[in-house]
Amino acid sequence: MTANATEVIVIKGRCVVAGYAAGEALVTQETISGWGGINEREGTVIERRHELRGQSFANKVLVFPGAKGSSGWSAFFHMTRLNGVAPCAMLFTRMTTKMALGAVVTRVPAMTDFDQDPLTVITTGDWVEVDANAGEVRVSRNLAGV
Amino acid sequence: MQLTDYEKSLRDGMNGRAKAQAMDLLIRYGEAVGAERLIETNNVAGAFNASSPSTRHIVEKGFDAVYSELNLDSDEVVDVPHVEANTCQLITGIDNDNWELQGASREMVEQQRASERYLGERGVNMFATCTPYQVGNVPVQGEHCAWMESSAVIYCNSVLGARTNVEGKESTGAAALTGRIPYWGYHLTENRFGTHLITLETAVEDMMDWGLLGYFIGEQVEEDRPVIEGLSHQPDLIKLKHFGAAAASSGGVEMYHIPGVTPEARTVEEAFGPGRPVQHLHYGAAERRATFESLQSATDRKVDFIMLGCPHNSIEQMALIAQLLRGKKIHPDVALWVHTPRAIKQVAERSGYCDVITQAGGAVMSDTCPAISRRMPEGVRVIATDSAKQAHYLPAIANVQGWFGSVQHCIDAALTGQWNAEV
């Protein structure tokens, strides 16, 4: 194995919002609040006891269990799109109306119902390609130094 | 997704571009969630008002542009017609009377008032509260609704036995114009049975107790459906309003059962229907104390601001606050805002409660709350509130320290300027 070898993992899932995007993964095991949980102008998590507090999801592939909290979820992620700080794709494991509507109006590729758990397979910093039309997620990880 | 001929005609623009865009959004949303079809609704509660600074640049293009972008997710600006379904406005950004106290500009309140005239012309009822069920929108058991506001949704499903998912600004905007919403989740009987059994092993008596119980349960079950047994006291609207708001803040609870109290379960067995509890949790004195501590985000005992009325106060809560404040003056360094729906404020004024509260140095606010408006008195560093929901959200939104306690704790803090509550 060379120093630059990369490991590629393919995860299959269901398309929620069609499209293709690639970006760096931001992974959390915790559900995210929209209204009151994110700053929609900066694209950051602000919830007081959240493990991602202070971190930016702008232009990242957000990998998370799903939505929680206020019904302002979709409106706040909608605003992240209008403000140019939306995630570039969303991969989530728990379907709710908040989550589905939020993904739809954020208008980024989104998937759920995976054959492997993305919350354990994907690590923050991995390069992730989301091909929602094909129902496929490709996770690339540089093995150098591992 | 299967559509009726009428729904197809809406989608295809036979009834105008606004309804076509509304149907387009409902189809995208319905397919995302995996719904097989739509269901008719004649009860929509949403957020339509253009009342925040972030909408100002869209308002410049007109209120049709606001509705198109924010309530229909439509890039095309459509002429918005009269609503198809009975529709009301939930909580909004500015108190139409106390806007100066909130620090809002005349321009912002004029924008909100113009927005309300626009919406009223289209049949949107301006309740301007997070608790529409307190001021006239009380759906009957089994009624299909399309409601936003997590604290109202959980009340609608659990206490009233009506059926709604947590909808959003865009789906309620589309439902108002079409009278349709995806037939999914809580609209289907099989998704309404309990998942977790919670046995109470400590007395849950006053409003604060119910807030703590809700906050504990939300953290434990997230978006699942708790069934609560072992009650020592009969809850009422006020307590269930607080309980639900808390459970929908720490978690995503949209429905619960209290056998013998809520309408869809006379017994624990009935609450679980054909299923069995996936988990059995216990709530005792230790859980109560840990939850109380987890809600405190303050260390400084000198408080600046007391927020009461989240969700918006009932008339009984207004009466209690007036009783606690009668003949007293709040500390000069403290601001006290008490929030109640505008319709209830009228009753409170007539009953003399508003005079008592304002003579003590407090303010009676309607239409909004600090978490929604992101407006508080200037220079606030430490807040206290009787709402687990507000204690959960406001410190993160406004970057302040927060104390949580009973209404009595909060009034004591308002009078002394010090937080001294223990549990």
pLDDT along chain B (423 residues), means of 10: 98 98 98 98 96 84 97 98 98 96 95 97 98 98 97 98 98 98 98 98 97 97 96 95 95 95 98 97 98 96 98 98 98 98 98 98 97 93 97 90 97 97 78
Cα–Cα distances in Å, from B171 out to A53, A77, B73, B122, B164?
29, 14, 9, 17, 12
- Domain assignment of residue B182, yes or no: yes
Q: A68 vs B34: CB contact, 8 Å cut-off?
A: no
- Domain assignment of residue B423, yes or no: no
For residues B129 and B149, membership in a common domain is answered with: yes
Nearest residue on chain A to B244, alpha-carbon basis: A69
Instruction: Say if B132 is an interface residue toward chain A (CB within 8 Å).
Output: no
For residues B48 and B147, membership in a common domain is answered with: yes
Q: A48 vs B33: CB contact, 8 Å cut-off?
A: no
Is B371 buried (19+), middle (13-18) or exposed (0-12) by CB count in 10 A?
A: buried
Q: What is the pLDDT of residue B17?
A: 98
Closest CA to A75 of B49, B116, B70, B172: B70
Strands B226-229 and B279-283: unpaired
> What ipTM was estimated for this complex?
0.94
In the numeric block, the tokens 């349960």 are attached to B217
Q: Which amino acid is at B264?
A: E
From chain B, the residues in CB contact with A46 under 8 A are 396-397
For residues B73 and B91, membership in a common domain is answered with: yes
Question: Domain ends where: B189, B206, B241?
Answer: B189
CB atoms within 10 A of CB B344: 24
For residues B167 and B26, membership in a common domain is answered with: yes
Structural contact between residues B367 and B342, judged by C-beta atoms closer than 8 angstroms:
yes
Q: Which amino acid is at B321?
A: I
Q: What is the pLDDT of residue A3?
A: 56
From chain A, the residues in CB contact with B223 under 8 A are 31, 66, 68, 94, 96
- Domain assignment of residue B300, yes or no: no
Q: What is the pLDDT of residue A42?
A: 96
For residues B315 and B212, membership in a common domain is answered with: no
Q: What is the pLDDT of residue B54?
A: 75
- Domain assignment of residue B118, yes or no: yes
- Look at chain B and report how many structural domains it folds into: 3
Confidence of residue A81 (pLDDT cuts 50, 70, 90): very high
How many interface pairs between A and B have CB atoms less than 8 angstroms apart? 110
> Three-state SS string across chain B, please?
CCCCHHHHHHHCCCCCHHHHHHHHHHHHHHHHHCCCCEEECCCEEECCCCCCHHHHHHHCCCHHHHHHHHHHCCCCCCCCCCCCCCEEECCCCCCCCCHHHHCCCHHHHHHHHHHHHHHHHCCEECCCCCCHHHCCCCCCCCCECEECCHHHHHHHHHCCCCECCECCHHHHHHHHHHCEEECCHHHCHHHCCCCEEEEECCCCCCHHHHHHHHHHHHHHHCCCCEEEECCCCCCCHHHHHHHHHHHHHHCCCCCCECCCCCCCCCCHHHHHCCCCCCEEEEECHHHHHHHHHHCCCCCCCECCEEEECCCCCCHHHHHHHHHHHCCCCCCCCCEEEEECCHHHHHHHHHCCHHHHHHHCCCEEECCCCHHHHCCCCCCCCEEEECCHHHHHHHHHHHCCEEEECCHHHHHHHHHHCECCCCC
**A19 contacts: CB under 8 Å, gap ≥ 6:** A89, A107, A108, A109, A130, A132, A133
Dist. CA B4–CA B42, nearest whole Å: 17
Phi and psi of B245, rounded to 5°? -60, -40
Structural contact between residues A2 and A143, judged by C-beta atoms closer than 8 angstroms:
no
* Owning domain of residue B267: 193-294
* Bridge partners (DSSP) listed for residue B147: B45, B166
For residues B167 and B206, membership in a common domain is answered with: no
**B105 contacts: CB under 8 Å, gap ≥ 6:** none
In total, chain A counts a number of residues equal to: 146
- Domain assignment of residue B401, yes or no: yes
Candidates A31, A72, A110; nearest CB to B252: A31
For residues B162 and B281, membership in a common domain is answered with: no
Catalytic residues of A: 70
Domains of chain A (ranges; CATH) run 6-142 (3.50.30.10)
**B146 contacts: CB under 8 Å, gap ≥ 6:** B41, B43, B44, B45, B46, B85, B164, B165, B167, B171, B172, B175, B181
Structural contact between residues A27 and A130, judged by C-beta atoms closer than 8 angstroms:
no
To test the contact with chain A by mutation, choose from B73, B90, B184, B369 the residue with the greatest count of A C-beta atoms within 10 A, namely B73
Distance of CA B107 to the CA centre of its chain: 27
Dist. CA A137–CA A21, nearest whole Å: 10
Question: Domain ends where: B155, B189, B223?
Answer: B189
Nearest residue on chain B to A95, alpha-carbon basis: B33
Per-residue pLDDT of A51-64, as tens digits, reads 999 999 999 999 99
For residues B21 and B142, membership in a common domain is answered with: yes
Phi and psi of A31, rounded to 5°? -65, 160
- Domain assignment of residue B422, yes or no: no
- Domain assignment of residue B237, yes or no: yes
Question: What is A76-124 written as a DSSP string?
Answer: HHHHHHHTT---SEEEESS--HHHHHHHHHHTS-EEES-SS-HHHH--T
Nearest residue on chain A to B71, alpha-carbon basis: A75
Instruction: Say if A37 is an interface residue toward chain B (CB within 8 Å).
Output: yes
From chain B, the residues in CB contact with A52 under 8 A are none
Residue A27: both structure tokens together:
């992974």
Dist. CA B232–CA B328, nearest whole Å: 34
Per-residue pLDDT of A28-53, as tens digits, reads 999 999 988 999 999 999 988 899 99
For residues B249 and B363, membership in a common domain is answered with: no
Q: What is the pLDDT of residue B422?
A: 78
Half-sphere CA count of B132, side-chain side, radius 13 A:
31
Residue B270: both structure tokens together:
């009935």
Per-residue pLDDT of A118-144, as tens digits, reads 999 999 999 999 999 999 999 998 876
Residue B111: CATH number of its domain: 3.30.499
In the numeric block, the tokens 């406001």 are attached to B394
Distance of CA A80 to the CA centre of its chain: 14
Dist. CA B78–CA B365, nearest whole Å: 34
Dist. CA B323–CA B320, nearest whole Å: 5
- Domain assignment of residue B299, yes or no: no
Q: What is the pLDDT of residue B55?
A: 80
To test the contact with chain B by mutation, choose from A28, A71, A107 the residue with the greatest count of B C-beta atoms within 10 A, namely A71
Q: What is the pLDDT of residue A145?
A: 53
For residues B178 and B38, membership in a common domain is answered with: yes
For residues B234 and B117, membership in a common domain is answered with: no
Q: What is the pLDDT of residue B52?
A: 78
Instruction: Say if A60 is an interface residue toward chain B (CB within 8 Å).
Output: no
In the numeric block, the tokens 């095991």 are attached to A29
For residues B205 and B319, membership in a common domain is answered with: no
DSSP A29: S
Nearest residue on chain A to B392, alpha-carbon basis: A48
**B286 contacts: CB under 8 Å, gap ≥ 6:** none
